[in-house]
C-alpha cells in the first residue's frame, strides 16, 4: 500500500519504518528540514534498538522516503497517518495545535478515497472533530479512523511487529478491511485485530496507560509502607505476583515513571473526566504519588548526609526515564539533579545513551563521565535512577575502590541487600530496610526456605 506518515517523531518514525519493512511504500513528512535531511541519509535522531538499521535498509530499498512537502507525501496515498505531537498543555490537557495545523494543510491535497488515520494520542472525540473539519474544508465526506499506538520505548519494533493486539476505531467496514489488510503481516490468532468505534479506540489508549501507571504508583506506595513497617517489598511482590489475578508486570518498585506517555496521558484523562462531571480521583492520586516518588531517593540522600551535603560529590548512574532509550522527558533523574544542585552537590553523571540530552539541558552545571566506572572516581556515593543492564552486573570491589565511601542509593533495587552487606556497602534501596545503617535491623535470613520470583 502507499502510505503517507505525517510526523517523524518517535511514533511516526517507528510506524513508518515498520510498515515499509513489511513491503509498503511509505513517505514520511515533517516540517523540520534538518531532521528530514538526516533521515534521508539514514541518520536517525532518536535512540531505539534496531530502528536506525531498519530505516537505512528501507531507504536503500526505496520503500521509505522523507520529505518536507505535504502535497508530495499524500499524493496518491491510500492511507494518511497523522502522527504529530500532542504535548501537555499548562492545564494538563492535550495541546492539539499541531494536529489542527496538519488537518488544515492536508485538506488541500487529500485524495478522495484516502483513509486518514489518527495515530497521535488525542482526547476522546478528536476523531469526530477531524472528520467534521475535513468535511468542512473539502466539501465531501472523508474517511477518518483512529489507530492508537502501544509502543514501549526500548522495545518499539518488537511491540509493533509482534503486537498484543491492534486497535482501530472505524466508521465503515471498508476502513476496517483496509487497515486489517495493512496489519495482516503482524497478526496471529493470539494477537487479534480489534475494530471498534473511534471513541472507544481513543479511550483504549488512555485507559491502558492510566492502568499501567496506576500499578506503578500502587507498588511504589506499598514499597514506602514496607520500609516504615520493616517489610521487604520484593518479598511482598513475590507474595502477590504469583496470584494469577495480579501478576508481576509493572509491579517493580522504583523512583517513579516518566517519559512522553504515562505522565501526560494520566493527566489528560483526568482532565477529560473532570470536563464530563467526574472527579478523576484515582487518576489524580496516581499522578500525585508518582510525583512524590521521584523525590524518594533524594530524600534518602539528604537524610543520610544531613547538613553535610554542601560540596559533596555524587556519582549518578542512569539519566533516561527507562533503559534502552535516550528519552529524558519527565525522567526521575531530573528531579534528583535539580534538588542536589540546589544543595550545592557536585554531580558526575553517566547514562549509556542520554548523556547528550542531559548536557543540552544542564550544560556545565554537571560533570559528564564517558563510562559508568569513571563517574565513580572519588565520589562520596553513587545514586542509581535507571535500570540499564550494564549497571546490574558490576565488580563490587572495583566500585568500592573507586568511591571515596562505600555508599549506594539504589532507586531500582538492582542489588540484593545480603550482597551489599557481604561487600561492606552502606546501601539504600526502595521498599527495603537499608544495609549498614545504625538503628535499622537486618531482616532474618530465610533465603533457604523461600522461592525467588
Note whether 452 and 238 are within 8 A (CB).
yes
Catalytic residue among 18, 226, 261, 271: 261
365 is in an annotated binding site: no
Cα–Cα–Cα angle for 392, 50, 43, nearest 5°?
115
| Euclidean distance between CA atoms 45 and 65, whole angstroms | 16
Note whether 94 and 268 are within 8 A (CB).
yes
Note whether 322 and 258 are within 8 A (CB).
yes
Note whether 352 and 390 are within 8 A (CB).
yes
35 is in an annotated binding site: yes
264 is in an annotated binding site: yes
Note whether 131 and 145 are within 8 A (CB).
no
40 is in an annotated binding site: no
Nine cell digits for residue 9? 517523531
Question: 348: closest CA among 315, 310, 381?
Answer: 315
Q: What are phi and psi for residue 346, nearest 5 degrees?
A: -85, 130
| Euclidean distance between CA atoms 139 and 134, whole angstroms | 8
86 is in an annotated binding site: yes
Rg (CA), the chain: 24
Q: What are phi and psi for residue 16, nearest 5 degrees?
A: -60, -45
153 is in an annotated binding site: yes
Note whether 355 and 349 are within 8 A (CB).
yes
33 is in an annotated binding site: no
3-state percent breakdown (helix, strand, coil) of the chain, nearest 5: 45, 15, 40
Secondary element (H or E) of residue 221: helix 198-228
What 8-state DSSP symbol labels residue 213?
Answer: H
189 is in an annotated binding site: no
Is position 261 annotated as part of the catalytic site?
Answer: yes
| Euclidean distance between CA atoms 221 and 307, whole angstroms | 27
What 8-state DSSP symbol labels residue 50?
Answer: T
Query: Which burial class, exposed, middle or buried, applies to 111 when counting CB atoms under 10 A from its CB (0-12, 13-18, 19+)?
Result: middle
152 is in an annotated binding site: yes
Nine cell digits for residue 403? 568511591
| Euclidean distance between CA atoms 128 and 314, whole angstroms | 52
386 is in an annotated binding site: no
112 is in an annotated binding site: no
443 is in an annotated binding site: no
Cα–Cα–Cα angle for 197, 202, 203, nearest 5°?
100
250 is in an annotated binding site: yes
253 is in an annotated binding site: yes
205 is in an annotated binding site: yes
Nine cell digits for residue 96? 492539539
425 is in an annotated binding site: no
Binding residues: 30, 35, 86, 121, 150-153, 205, 250-254, 258, 264, 322, 329
Catalytic residue IDs:
261
Binding residues for substrate: 150-153, 205, 250-254, 258, 322
Binding residues for NAD(+): 30, 35, 86, 121, 153, 264, 329
Amino acid at each position: 500500500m502507499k502510505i503517507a506518515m505525517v510526523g517523524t517523531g518517535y511514533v511516526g518514525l517507528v510506524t513508518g519504518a515498520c510498515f515499509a519493512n513489511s513491503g509498503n511504500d511509505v513517505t514520511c513528512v515533517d516540517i523540520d528540514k534538518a531532521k528530514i535531511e538526516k533521515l534521508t541519509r539514514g541518520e536517525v535522531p532518536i535512540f531505539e534498538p534496531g530502528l536506525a538499521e531498519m530505516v537505512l535498509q528501507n531507504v536503500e530499498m526505496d520503500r521509505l522516503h522523507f520529505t518536507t512537502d505535504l502535497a508530495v507525501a499524500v499524493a496518491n496515498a491510500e492511507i494518511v497517518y497523522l502522527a504529530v505531537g500532542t504535548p501537555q498543555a499548562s492545564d494538563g490537557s492535550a495541546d492539539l495545535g499541531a494536529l489542527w495545523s496538519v488537518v488544515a494543510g492536508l485538506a488541500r491535497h487529500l485524495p478522495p478515497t484516502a483513509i486518514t488515520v489518527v495515530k497521535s494520542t488525542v482526547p476522546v472525540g478528536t476523531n469526530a472533530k477531524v472528520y467534521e473539519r475535513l468535511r468542512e474544508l473539502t466539501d465531501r465526506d472523508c474517511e477518518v479512523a483512529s489507530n492508537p499506538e502501544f509502543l514501549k520505548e526500548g522495545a518499539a519494533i518488537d511491540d509493533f511487529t509482534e503486537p498484543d493486539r491492534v486497535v482501530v476505531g472505524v466508521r465503515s467496514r471498508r476502513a476496517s478491511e483496509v487497515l486489517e489488510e495493512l496489519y495482516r503481516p503482524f497478526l496471529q490468532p493470539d494477537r487479534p485485530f480489534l475494530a471498534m468505534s473511534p471513541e472507544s479506540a481513543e479511550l483504549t489508549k488512555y485507559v491502558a496507560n492510566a492502568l499501567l501507571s496506576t500499578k506503578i504508583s500502587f507498588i511504589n506506595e506499598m514499597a514506602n509502607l514496607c520500609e516504615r513497617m520493616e517489610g521487604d517489598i520484593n518479598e511482598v511482590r513475590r507474595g502477590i505476583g504469583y496470584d494469577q489475578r495480579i501478576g508481576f508486570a509493572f509491579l517493580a518498585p522504583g523512583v517513579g515513571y516518566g517519559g512522553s506517555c504515562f505522565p501526560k496521558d494520566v493527566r489528560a484523562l483526568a482532565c477529560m473526566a473532570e470536563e464530563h462531571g467526574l472527579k478523576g480521583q484515582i487518576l489524580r492520586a496516581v499522578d500525585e504519588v508518582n510525583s512524590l516518588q521521584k523525590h524518594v531517593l533524594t530524600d534518602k540522600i539528604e537524610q543520610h548526609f544531613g547538613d553535610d551535603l554542601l560540596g559533596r560529590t555524587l556519582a549518578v548512574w542512569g539519566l533516561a526515564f527507562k533503559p534502552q532509550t535516550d528519552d529524558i522527558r519527565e525522567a526521575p533523574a531530573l528531579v534528583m539533579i535539580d534538588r542536589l544542585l540546589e544543595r550545592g552537590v557536585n554531580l558526575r553523571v553517566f547514562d549509556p545513551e542520554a548523556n547528550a540530552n542531559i548536557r543540552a539541558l544542564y550544560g556545565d552545571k554537571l560533570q559528564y563521565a564517558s563510562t559508568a566506572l569513571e563517574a565513580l572516581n572519588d565520589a562520596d556515593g553513587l545514586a542509581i535512577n535507571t535500570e540499564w543492564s550494564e549497571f546490574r552486573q558490576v565488580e563490587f570491589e572495583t566500585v568500592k575502590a573507586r568511591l571515596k565511601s562505600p555508599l549506594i542509593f539504589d532507586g531500582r533495587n538492582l542489588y540484593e541487600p545480603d550482597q551489599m552487606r557481604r561487600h561492606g556497602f552502606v546501601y539504600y534501596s526502595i521498599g527495603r530496610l537499608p544495609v549498614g545503617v545504625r538503628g535499622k535491623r537486618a531482616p532474618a535470613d530465610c533465603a533457604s526456605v523461600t522461592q525467588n520470583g
